A and B are shown apart, each in its own frame.
Chain A
Amino acid sequence: MFRNQYDTDVTTWSPAGRLFQVEYAMEAVKQGSAAIGLRSATHIVLATVNKATSELSSHQKKIFKVDDHIGVAIAGLTADGRVLSRYLRNECINHSFVYESPLPISRLVVQLADKAQVCTQRSWKRPYGVGLLVAGLDETGAHLYYNCPSGNYFEYQAFAIGSRSQAAKTYLERRFDNFDKYSREELIKDGIFAIKETLQGEKLTSAICTVAIVGVGEPFHIINQQAIEQVIQSLDIVEDAQVEAAAAESASEEPSAAQEPAAAAPMDLQ
């Protein structure tokens, strides 16, 4: 990236009112492999793309269980993500020690955001280079938050971060209206579809993605690989059928309505 005279430390403003170091940290999130989250009224699904740095190495863990009712998916510097998830776990354990009740998601997220904010205002610190999708269930229902290195946080119905996340976002934007009514299976399926969007043609297998879920009566857990493989295979079958149907339709020269994934994204404007 082009260097300028205002980006040598976090606390220096540019004349345009920007903090370049913070923006660079947010850039790190975009470089990381994708993580997505989506939420129904009762469940939240997190999914990530696992990219190994070399064929000889394993991939980094990108989804962490924080407590029975909370989990996070990260994109960016996994080392920072690990430190932050340890912090989150600590907060949850302390809360259940003192109050014998689970920590509300909204509070955990504010504490996390405040921690990130401090790093944007101290000359001797560096912002965390990681974005976190925080999924949790509490008294007030199911929640999905995105926490940014800048100290900002947002609540979402569905969101995607990391490299090529725009494709997943587009997919989710097209479908999020119905998410509230989704069953957990439908939610998992759409999570996997969104992950597929970020791969841009690369074949989706259960080896390159991790999917986790938390919901009513279901503590946060990572869904095992076989179960994911089964879902992927069932999707492939459906897709193949769709492609064939589309081929048949275009052969009979009718306008194609069936091939949903290939349809133009109406919200792809920004």
Chain B
Amino acid sequence: MALRGDWVYENNGGTCVAIAGSDYCVVAADTRLSVGYSIYTRDYSKICKLCDSSPLFLLPSPLTASTIYQHQHNKQMSCPAMARLLSNTLYYKRFFPYYTFNILGGLDNEGKGCVYSYDAVGSYERVGYSCQGTGGALIMPVLDNQLKSPSPLLLPARDAVTPLSESEAVDLVKDVFASATERDIYTGDKLEIIVVNASGIRQEFLDLRKD
């Protein structure tokens, strides 16, 4: 179905990173929106607040579902519940997929940071950190190296959250984006960082190279 026309998809670029800590979660994305060699706008937010505890990279359609959920259950949706909902939303369009690569970040029911990483058709996994988008391949090995996450092969399984403190994680995010911007033409302009912790949601910005 989707192969009938390449015009139905357009790669608008962009990169996002999320890191889970023991009591916080950092989600960050650049704000450049481009197509081919030209830039549409330098100020396009790709992070969307789904409920009080989980911002998300791209794709706002589960928002409606979560609003209904809030009405029906009289409470906010938890991050793991939201993660499954997003997976179902993506898989529902398995044969005409949403061409988006999402990361869901937030706090779980125990207040621990959680990051869910997806592919375009909804397969997902809970991880300690993740990155996706056009600059993803440049950033991932740096995160692997710096976050010292325990191997997923270890038995018994160990927690994937990073030992880094909140401010260390934010600094790391700033560094990896500054680096990705050097080499990826689709990443740049501005970095939007969202930090979720027990005291709420905090937003900050950092200017990136505009070339």
Given a CB threshold of 8 Å, the question of whether A touches B is answered with yes
Partner-B contacts on A (CB < 8 A)? 65, 89, 93, 97
A65 to B71, CA, bound (A): 7
Task: Give 6 nearest A-B pairs by CB, closest first.
Answer: A93-B64, A89-B71, A93-B67, A97-B64, A65-B71, A93-B68
7 residue pairs from A and B, CB less than 8 Å apart: A65-B71, A89-B68, A89-B71, A93-B64, A93-B67, A93-B68, A97-B64
Instruction: Tell me which residues across on chain B come within 8 A of A93, comparing CB atoms.
Output: 64, 67-68
Instruction: Tell me which residues across on chain A come within 8 A of B68, comparing CB atoms.
Output: 89, 93
Instruction: Tell me which residues across on chain A come within 8 A of B64, comparing CB atoms.
Output: 93, 97
A97 to B71, CA, bound (A): 17
Chain B residue, CB-CB nearest to A64: B71
Instruction: Tell me which residues across on chain B come within 8 A of A97, comparing CB atoms.
Output: 64
A89 to B65, CA, bound (A): 12
Instruction: Tell me which residues across on chain A come within 8 A of B67, comparing CB atoms.
Output: 93
The count of residues in chain B whose C-beta lies closer than 8 Å to any C-beta of chain A is 4
Instruction: Tell me which residues across on chain A come within 8 A of B71, comparing CB atoms.
Output: 65, 89
A65 to B68, CA, bound (A): 11
A89 to B70, CA, bound (A): 12
**B61-84 CB contacts (< 8 Å) to partner A:** 64, 67-68, 71
A220 to B71, CA, bound (A): 12
Chain A residue, CB-CB nearest to B65: A93
A89 to B71, CA, bound (A): 9
Instruction: Tell me which residues across on chain B come within 8 A of A65, comparing CB atoms.
Output: 71
Chain A residue, CB-CB nearest to B67: A93
A97 to B68, CA, bound (A): 13
How many whole Å from B118's CB to the nearest CB in chain A?
A: 23
How many whole Å from B72's CB to the nearest CB in chain A?
A: 9
How many whole Å from B101's CB to the nearest CB in chain A?
A: 23
How many whole Å from B66's CB to the nearest CB in chain A?
A: 11
How many whole Å from B62's CB to the nearest CB in chain A?
A: 12
How many whole Å from A150's CB to the nearest CB in chain B?
A: 28
A92 to B130, CA, bound (A): 35
How many whole Å from A79's CB to the nearest CB in chain B?
A: 16
A65 to B73, CA, bound (A): 12
Chain A residue, CB-CB nearest to B70: A65
A89 to B67, CA, bound (A): 10
A93 to B67, CA, bound (A): 8
How many whole Å from B21's CB to the nearest CB in chain A?
A: 30
Chain B residue, CB-CB nearest to A97: B64
Proximity string of chain B (164-175) to chain A, C-beta cutoff 8 Å, 1 when within and 0 when not: 000000000000
Instruction: Tell me which residues across on chain B come within 8 A of A89, comparing CB atoms.
Output: 68, 71
Chain B residue, CB-CB nearest to A68: B67
How many whole Å from A138's CB to the nearest CB in chain B?
A: 18
A10 to B68, CA, bound (A): 34
How many whole Å from B190's CB to the nearest CB in chain A?
A: 23
A136 to B68, CA, bound (A): 19
Chain B residue, CB-CB nearest to A67: B67
How many whole Å from B9's CB to the nearest CB in chain A?
A: 22
A178 to B64, CA, bound (A): 39
How many whole Å from B11's CB to the nearest CB in chain A?
A: 25
Chain B residue, CB-CB nearest to A61: B74
How many whole Å from B32's CB to the nearest CB in chain A?
A: 22
**B39-72 CB contacts (< 8 Å) to partner A:** 64, 67-68, 71
A49 to B82, CA, bound (A): 35
How many whole Å from B60's CB to the nearest CB in chain A?
A: 10
How many whole Å from B71's CB to the nearest CB in chain A?
A: 6
A93 to B70, CA, bound (A): 13
How many whole Å from B61's CB to the nearest CB in chain A?
A: 9
Chain B residue, CB-CB nearest to A66: B71
A65 to B74, CA, bound (A): 10
A139 to B28, CA, bound (A): 34
A85 to B132, CA, bound (A): 40
A89 to B68, CA, bound (A): 8
A93 to B65, CA, bound (A): 10
How many whole Å from A142's CB to the nearest CB in chain B?
A: 22
A12 to B196, CA, bound (A): 61
A153 to B68, CA, bound (A): 27
How many whole Å from B191's CB to the nearest CB in chain A?
A: 25
How many whole Å from B52's CB to the nearest CB in chain A?
A: 12
How many whole Å from A92's CB to the nearest CB in chain B?
A: 9
How many whole Å from B194's CB to the nearest CB in chain A?
A: 21
